[in-house]
Amino acid sequence: MPERPSPPPNPVEHMAGDPVLQARMRGIRRRLFVLSGKGGVGKSTVAVNLAVALARRGRRVGLLDVDVHGPSVSTMLRVPDTRVLSDENGLLVPVPAGEHLKVMSLGFLAANSNDAIVWRGPRKFSVIGQLLRDVQWGELDELVVDCPPGTGDEPLAVVQQAGTPAAAVVVTTPQQVAVADVRRCLTFCRLVGLPIAGLIENMSGYVCPHCGQTVDLYGCGGGEGLSRETGVPLLGRIPFDSAIVCGGDAGAPFVAEDTDTASTRAFYDIVDKLLPGANTP
């Protein structure tokens, strides 16, 4: 009988067992993976503002953008086209983005922020692995990770390699179609053994600047229904707010402003539920 060839090693599992990767991640107290069932629901917006808000609460924060489909964190923090420096050991040095906050993005590795990044198959995984393995974060309280959308191999590669302790923050919008995707996202977390800190329902109603009434633009209650059905806590609902779009485009995260609006209040309520000791994983 001819000998059966052994199956090729799983590259993700192989990397996760890498002692260099483990050593690099050791100085990080907690990873918060910002996930969504699909693109366009505000995942990067939540990741950036979560990182900024945690830093404003005094946590030492790293923000890692591994969204292979369109890294946007560098634009949202006004650090586009940044030349990433290496330290004496050849490790990438994260870019400072305000007090207590440093950032590393796949976008920095593209020659130009307007270049389309077409990474396929093994190249995509090696780039994700490189960002996890070759960044000198130092000591961090939180590593907020803007993950690729969906529940495929890419978020799997990120979650499995970044290690523990970790928790997922899952972003959705109120419509039923989005909720179906998020249900898959919650299943994904359970399958990979990732504790879920909670759901955020984004673009949840529009607060009219004139009369103060909330209008439900995209239906309502999707996040609440899902929370009841699955037992995953709903951390909060962030309204649709044009200041969030403008802040994202201008590289000025809306939570960095000291303005008291429905959206900043909603966001800081969520952040406070994620602080250590607030019953989150």
Which residue ranges make up the site for ligand ADP (CB under 6 A)? Answer: 36, 39-45, 72, 202-203, 238, 240-241, 244-245, 248
Cβ proximity to ligand ADP, 25 vs 74, nearer residue: 74
C-beta of 261: minimal distance to ligand ADP in Å?
11
C-beta of 214: minimal distance to ligand ADP in Å?
13
3-state secondary structure of 55: helix
Q: Is 202:172 a contact under the CB 8 Å cutoff?
A: yes
Residue type (1 letter), 75: T
Q: Nearest-5° angle of CA 241, CA 59, CA 186?
A: 60
Q: CA torsion sign, 146 to 93 to 12 to 125?
A: positive
How far is the C-alpha of 229 from the C-alpha of 182, rounded, in Å? Answer: 12
Cβ proximity to ligand ADP, 33 vs 240, nearer residue: 240
Cβ proximity to ligand ADP, 42 vs 94, nearer residue: 42
| Phi–psi pair at 148, nearest 5 degrees | -65, 150
Q: Is 95:271 a contact under the CB 8 Å cutoff?
A: no
- Total count of residues recorded for the chain: 281
C-beta of 236: minimal distance to ligand ADP in Å?
11
C-beta of 82: minimal distance to ligand ADP in Å?
19
C-beta of 171: minimal distance to ligand ADP in Å?
7
C-beta of 244: minimal distance to ligand ADP in Å?
4
Cβ proximity to ligand ADP, 208 vs 245, nearer residue: 245
Cβ proximity to ligand ADP, 20 vs 245, nearer residue: 245
Cβ proximity to ligand ADP, 21 vs 73, nearer residue: 73
Tokens matching residue 16: 């996760």
Q: CA torsion sign, 106 to 64 to 179 to 187?
A: positive
